[in-house]
Amino acid sequence: MPDAAEIYGIVFQKASATLLARVLGADGNPITPSQITAARYSVALVDDEDPTLLNPVAGHWDVPLSPSAVVLATVQKDALWDVDETGYNFRHILDITQAPAFPEAQRTYRIEYRLTPQTGQEIVVRFRVRAI
């Protein structure tokens, strides 16, 4: 399994999004909240001319999260997950009450989560979405 893979999707402009993933630790098993000491996320607008250039989205840049707010204790398989039969152990619903996460339509955004485990390397979970 690759160590790095972006998850692609479509979101509505100025709306929230529920982001789901299955995140494995270095041992190949799903991570749990007790294994993570810190979590942060950032949303950035991807430059149309140069996809390596990112413009931070106000109110959604380097935001701390409680690990238990995004990492689930067990793998879930419910109506939200249609990728496979295994399920997900990472879920975050972007809070847009203070600022929109995807302010411009027909633009691409990168949502990046950085999870700090008790031991080992930082875990990066990334999504790349197109706002419509």
Q: Rounded CA gap, 79 and 33, in Å? A: 22
pLDDT tier, 4 (very low <50, low <70, confident <90, very high otherwise): confident
Rounded average pLDDT over 78-96: 96
Q: For residue range 100-119, what is the model confidence (pLDDT) as tens digits? A: 999 999 999 999 999 999 99
Q: Is 28 left (phi over 0), alpha (psi -120 to 50) or beta?
A: left
Residue 3 is predicted with a pLDDT of 66
The CA R_g of the chain, rounded to the nearest whole Å, is 15
pTM of the shown model: 0.94
Average pLDDT taken over every residue of the chain:
95
- pLDDT of 44 strictly over 70: yes
Q: Rounded CA gap, 4 and 126, in Å? A: 9
